[in-house]
């Protein structure tokens, strides 16, 4: 399966996909767009299928269902990309950690607290354990419209480590920071394990047909600068190197949400191809300081997609004015909220395609 | 009480206070320091008094007790400032909104949802309603060591509005953003009311003896740039103008936590005297881009004060290396955590005073 480099060569055919053209540095008069969490709870057809599927993880690990959910928003809206329906916590599960999703509470993991817990994790057969994810990628490819690109993804090592160590969502990051600051050497082993596992997971998605990968660093905004460089920048650089060693022409997008001032050095230091901007990044500043180095993607506040109407239209116009002059992918600055009316996504798509809702 | 400008004139006497010298733009060989939330739950003497005092708000509104709690950390550690023990939510309470503090849940407010709710708020006699706060300031002044400065404070209008509209702590800011984005004119009325109330509250604290005021914008990091300029920068500029119209020589520190890239324009646009840095602001960058304009304050990750030892010492050394060459106030990048060992604060104080723990 790893022996199919042809589907990733930059042939004239694949490069007609608008998103791939922009990620190679081209500017498109009409910027391509997709939305983080474009597949999910805001869509009635997702809720219906989710109700029938059993657990959230059953959905992720059943190729037909994961592929169906991935394609739902592509059928409704004129999106330039599909992003595989999956979760960043399949990687810890693939390493042997117990992961569960509890309704109305979120993910619950048996926490990894120290070197002994770490020793029980095993990255050797992660792509075998996660093979249903790659089968889902293959199913999506079969039904993907020819102008739509397929994005695979993974969480960045630091972000995934926060869930693994805290045992779920945290607000203070007390346990994981204590480990990282106090016992940097053993924490480095966890990060190194995640670098290898994340790269293997992305490479397997590409081998199955993903044309682009995105690395989600959801918790880039909680570390001091020196710690950010060690635990966010360096591991993402290592993952990117490993992916590019196998698939040099597959674009890597990174989304270091909340990186703030640290956005500026991140693109060069990681070697990624494009930078996802969260909603707080000023677009005028991004045009001068980021887009001059790499294509950028973002960054409508997803709350404005819930609100819709004039407020959304004005914000979209501002973003386009500031960023559409260079290589730019329109997206949100964070995931679609479950309470988003699908009609607002439809209006956004019309606005981006035709310049009016 | 407003007729005592003499205590705030920049006489040789008041300017011997190290913190005031730095806030006037001077560099001190040994930077002054204080800690956000330096009075509070991590101190056993606080927990004892809190247990005897009744509710959290009883503590804030009983001048003797609030003054005692304010002074507790000053007695233990060689701090350069005391900060009044109070809460940013006394302002909504002073405007007539119902505010309660529920153990293990945090503040609970009867939410302000629309223009009709807004019409029931009344800012005319806010300083009369909050007079116990100013009595507490006066009590602190009586017992304050002569080299220690007294800081008054308030929440910034946007941050206080998030609590008022959401009814407490929020993670998504959905209700308050919907109001701000959809009905900007009526939301502006809430912000304008808060600008006046906040300025009046700060002015009354200064009149009672506060020598410095700090404005806490805890939720600076959740708005897109244009909304940040309207709802964070402009209101803080207005508050600062009002305070300076009455007390031109009293320094105003603002702490726009999470402002990221927007930190850069904030100082000039607001007219504040000094800028509080959260822990994610890179100190090398701050030395070049912020400290060249105003004195800066910050920004040790408070988690490192919980951890202590070598990790804390190394981080403190890095901060001093980057920022102690200019006008600089050592502080945390966020408040002291309740689980902080007081011995670590003692070690930090020794490190800052003597260069060793």
Distance, CA of B342 to CA of B201 (rounded, Å) = 31
From B284, B317, B285, B319, select the one nearest B299 (Cα to Cα).
Answer: B319
Neighbours of B292 (CB within 10 A): 10
Cα distance between residue B353 and residue B220, in whole Å:
32
Q: Which residue of A has its CA nearest to B308?
A: A182
Contacts of B37 (CB under 8 A, 6+ apart): B335, B336
What is the share, in percent, of chain B residues with pLDDT greater than 90?
Answer: 90
* CATH T-level fold of A5-354: TIM Barrel (3.20.20)
- Return phi, psi of residue A66, to 5°: -60, -40
pTM: 0.95
What's the distance, CA B179 to chain centroid? 26
Q: How many Cα atoms within 13 Å fall on the side-chain side of residue B356?
A: 0
Q: How many CA atoms lie within 13 A of B127 on its CB side?
A: 16
A40: left (phi over 0), alpha (psi -120 to 50) or beta: left
State residue B103's pLDDT score: 81
The 3-state DSSP class for residue B335 equals: coil
- Total residues found in chain B within this entry: 357
pLDDT tens for B343-352 read: 999 999 999 9
Angle formed by the axes of helices A157-166 and A234-246, to 10°? 120
Q: Which residues of B touch A283 (CB under 8 A)?
A: 225
Q: Is A346 helix (H, G, I), strand (E, B) or coil?
A: helix
Chain A contact for B223, CB < 8 A?
A: yes
| Set of chain B residues whose Cβ sits within 8 Å of the Cβ of A303 | 172-174, 177-178, 181
| CA B238, B243, B248, B251 torsion-angle sign | negative
Nearest Cβ partner of B262 from A282, A304, A339? A282
pLDDT class of A8 with cuts at 50, 70, 90: low
Q: What is the pLDDT of residue B184?
A: 96
Helices A234-246 & A184-208 angle (0-180, nearest 10): 30
Task: Please name the residues in contact with B164: beta carbons below 8 A apart, sequence gap of 6 or more.
Answer: B92, B97, B109, B111, B112, B190
Alpha helices per DSSP H over chain A: 12-15, 18-23, 44-53, 56-61, 63-76, 90-94, 115-119, 126-129, 131-143, 157-166, 174-182, 184-208, 225-228, 234-246, 263-270, 283-289, 302-307, 309-323, 342-354
Judge: B333–A224 Cβ closer than 8 Å, yes or no: yes
- On the question of pLDDT at A12 being above 90, the answer is no
Say how far apart CA B348 and CA B319 lie, in whole Å: 13
The gap between the terminal CA atoms of chain A, to the nearest Å, is 43
Active site residue B50: yes
> Is residue B37 flagged as an active site residue?
yes
- Give the per-residue pLDDT at B52: 87
Q: Which residues of A touch B178 (CB under 8 A)?
A: 303, 306-307
Q: CA A316 to CA B340: how far, in whole Å?
A: 45
Centre a 10 Å sphere on the Cβ of residue B192 and count the other Cβ atoms it contains: 14
Which of B46, B61, B163, B266 is labelled catalytic? B163
Sign of dihedral through CA atoms B34, B81, B66, B130?
negative
10 Å CB burial of residue A150 (0-12, 13-18, 19+) is buried
Torsion sign across C-alpha atoms B338, B343, B347, B350: positive
> CA nearest B218: which of B232, B202, B205?
B232
Per-residue pLDDT tens over the stretch A190-203:
999 999 999 999 99
Q: What rounded mean pLDDT belongs to chain B? A: 94
Give how far the C-alpha of residue B259 lies from the chain's centroid of Cα atoms, to the nearest Å.
15
**pLDDT tens column, B44-66:** 999 999 988 888 999 999 999 99
List all residues of chain B from 98 to 157 with a beta carbon under 8 Å from chain A.
none
Total Cβ atoms within 10 A of residue B174: 17
Contact B91, B154 (CB under 8 A): yes
* Cβ separation A309–B182 shorter than 8 A: yes
List CB contacts of A207: < 8 A, sequence separation 6 or more: A1, A2, A4, A134
Interface test with B, best of A224, A227, A323 (most B CBs within 10 A): A224
Residue A3's pLDDT is 45
Handedness of CA B216, B222, B225, B229 (dihedral sign): negative
The shortest C-alpha distance from B94 to chain A (Å) reads 30
- Strand B274-276 with B252-256, pairing: parallel
**Which of A177, A279, A307 lies closest to B182 in CB terms?**
A307
Strand-strand pairing, A252-256 and A274-276? parallel
Cβ A270 vs Cβ A254: under 8 Å: yes
**At which residue do the structure tokens 């606005």 appear?**
A351
* DSSP tag of B36: T
Q: Which residues of A touch B172 (CB under 8 A)?
A: 303, 337
Our CA angle for B148, B150, B152, nearest 5°, is: 160
Instruction: Write out the two tokens for B301.
Output: 């990750």
Share of chain A above pLDDT 90, in %: 90
**What DSSP letter does each residue of A30-50 carry, written as one string?**
S--B--TT-SSTTSHHHHHHH
Please answer whether residues B60 and B87 qualify as being in contact, where contact means their C-beta atoms are separated by less than 8 angstroms: yes
Mean pLDDT of B172-179: 96
Structure confidence at residue B97 (pLDDT): 97
pLDDT at A9: 53
Dihedral Cα A96, A97, A100, A106, nearest 10 deg: -140
How far is Cα A329 from Cα A219, in angstroms, rounded to an integer?
22
Q: CA A228 from chain center: how many Å?
A: 19
Map tokens 């702590």 to a residue. B169
How far apart are the C-alpha atoms of B138 and B275, rounded to whole Å?
26
What is the rounded CA–CA span in Å between residue A355 and residue B181?
21
Q: What is the mean pLDDT of residues A68-89?
A: 98
Average pLDDT, chain A: 94
pLDDT at position A54, please?
A: 84
Mutate to test the interface with B, among A173, A184, A185, A225 (most CBs of B within 10 A): A225
B-chain residues near A337 (CB < 8 A): 172, 174
Range of weakest confidence among A5-14, A273-282, A347-356: A5-14
* Averaged pLDDT, B9-16: 56
Helix residue ranges per DSSP H, chain B? 18-23, 44-53, 56-61, 63-76, 90-94, 115-119, 126-129, 131-143, 157-166, 174-182, 184-208, 225-228, 234-246, 263-270, 283-289, 302-307, 309-323, 342-354
**CA gap B310, B347 in Å, rounded:** 11
In tens, the pLDDT along B254-282 reads 999 999 999 999 999 999 999 999 999 99
Task: Answer yes or no: is pLDDT of B12 > 70.
Answer: no
Nearest by CB: A261 against B226, B282, B304: B282
Among B residues 289-328, those touching chain A with beta carbons less than 8 Å apart:
299, 301, 303-304, 306-307, 309, 311, 315, 318
Helix (H) or strand (E) segment spanning residue B325 = none
pLDDT of residue A4 exceeding 60, the answer is no
Mean pLDDT of B89-94: 97
CA of A264 vs chain B CAs: smallest distance (Å): 9
Confidence of residue B7 (pLDDT cuts 50, 70, 90): low
Phi, psi of A82 (to 5 degrees): -105, 145
pLDDT in tens, B214-225: 999 999 999 999
Which pLDDT belongs to residue B3? 45
**Does A1 score more than 50 pLDDT?**
no
pLDDT at B5 over 70: no
- Contact (Cβ atoms closer than 8 angstroms) between residue B194 and residue B161: yes
pLDDT tens for residues A107-154?
A: 999 999 998 999 999 999 999 999 999 999 999 999 999 999 999 999
The CA dihedral of B224, A302, A331, A40, to the nearest 10 degrees, is 160
Residues B309, A182: C-beta atoms closer than 8 Å: yes
Helices A263-270, A234-246: inter-axial angle, 10-degree rounding: 40
Q: What is the domain partition of chain B in residue ranges?
A: 5-354
Residue A13: predicted pLDDT: 47
Strand-pairing partners, residue B144, are none
At residue B219, what are phi and psi to the nearest 5 degrees? -110, 45
* Confidence check: pLDDT of B4 > 90: no
Within 8 A by CB and 6+ apart from A84, the residues are: A66, A70, A133, A136, A137, A140, A150, A151, A152, A153, A205, A210
Interface test with A, best of B180, B303, B340 (most A CBs within 10 A): B303
Residue A259 tokens read as: 């990186």
| Predicted pLDDT at A7 | 52
- Nearest Cβ partner for B318 among A173, A226, A315: A226
Task: Tell me which residue of B249, B313, B319 sits closest to B291, measured CA to CA.
Answer: B319
Q: Which of A26-35, A171-180, B9-18 is least confident?
A: B9-18
């Amino acid at each position: 399966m790893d022996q199919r480099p042809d589907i990733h060569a930059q042939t004239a055919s694949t490069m007609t996909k608008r998103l791939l053209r922009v990620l190679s540095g081209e500017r498109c008069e009409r910027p391509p767009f997709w939305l983080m969490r474009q597949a999910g709870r805001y869509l009635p057809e997702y809720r219906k299928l989710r109700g029938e599927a059993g657990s959230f993880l059953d959905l992720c690990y059943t190729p037909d269902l994961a592929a169906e959910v991935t394609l739902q928003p592509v059928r409704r809206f004129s999106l330039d990309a599909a992003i595989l329906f999956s979760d960043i916590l399949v990687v810890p599960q693939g390493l042997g950690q117990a992961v569960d999703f509890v309704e109305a509470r979120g993910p619950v993991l048996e926490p990894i607290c120290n070197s002994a817990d770490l020793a029980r994790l095993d990255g050797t057969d992660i792509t075998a354990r996660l093979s249903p994810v790659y089968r889902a990628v293959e199913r999506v490819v079969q039904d993907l419209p020819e102008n739509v690109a397929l994005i695979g993804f993974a969480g960045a090592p630091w972000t995934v480590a926060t869930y693994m160590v805290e045992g779920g969502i945290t607000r203070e990051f007390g346990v994981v920071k204590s480990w990282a600051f106090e016992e940097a050497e053993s924490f480095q082993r966890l990060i190194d394990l995640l670098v290898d596992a994340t790269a293997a997971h992305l490479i397997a998605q590409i081998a199955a047909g993903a044309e682009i990968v995105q690395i989600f660093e959801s918790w880039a905004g909680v570390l001091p600068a020196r710690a950010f460089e060690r635990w966010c920048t360096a591991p993402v650089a290592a993952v990117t190197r490993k992916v590019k060693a196998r698939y040099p022409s597959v674009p890597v997008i990174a989304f270091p949400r909340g990186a703030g001032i640290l956005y500026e050095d991140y693109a060069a230091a990681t070697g990624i191809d494009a930078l996802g901007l969260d909603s707080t990044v000023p677009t005028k500043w991004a045009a001068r300081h980021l887009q001059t180095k790499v294509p950028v993607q973002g960054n409508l506040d997803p709350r404005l997609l819930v609100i819709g109407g004039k407020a959304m239209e004005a914000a979209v116009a501002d973003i386009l004015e500031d960023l559409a002059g260079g290589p730019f992918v329109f997206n949100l600055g964070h995931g679609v909220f479950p309470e988003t009316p699908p009609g607002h996504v439809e209006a956004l798509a019309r606005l981006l395609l035709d310049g009016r809702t």
